[in-house]
Amino acid sequence: MALSLPASGAGESDLLGSWEQFATNRGACPTCRIEFRKVGQGLAVTANNGWQANLAADDRTAAFEGSGNWQVRHPGTWVSGRPFHVSFRLVDADHLAMTMTVTTASGGTAIVRADYLRVWFGM
């Protein structure tokens, strides 16, 4: 799969590093963070609350998209061990929007939307 830049002009390097969640449709999570790193021909994103995914740029949607799984870290929770599709779109240099479609145990889907701000260290 060839990687290309999304139509917005955002490249992989624009996502690299840490991002902190500031809004979600699934309940506040003031400690939720995600981290993007370069892996092979794409990106990997890892969340501190138990999920990870591999991503590629999609120039049709101006987003970075991929698939992943929630860890079986909290047995009994609705996301534990569940697969998902995720899409990230830069709103601006410091604001990232995420849409995650999780396959539920009943075979349906649930949508998780979240917004993140870039974590800046120092001044």
pLDDT tens digit sequence for 36-49: 999 988 899 999 98
Are 116 and 98 in contact by the 8 Å Cβ rule? The answer is: yes
Residues contacting 76, CB < 8 A, separation 6+: none
Prediction pTM value? 0.84
| CA-based nearest residue to 88, from 51, 53, 39 | 53
- List of domains in the chain: 12-118 (2.40.128.20)
pLDDT tens digit sequence for 75-120: 667 788 889 999 999 999 899 999 999 998 888 999 999 999 999 8
- Bridge partners of residue 98, in order along the sequence: 88, 114
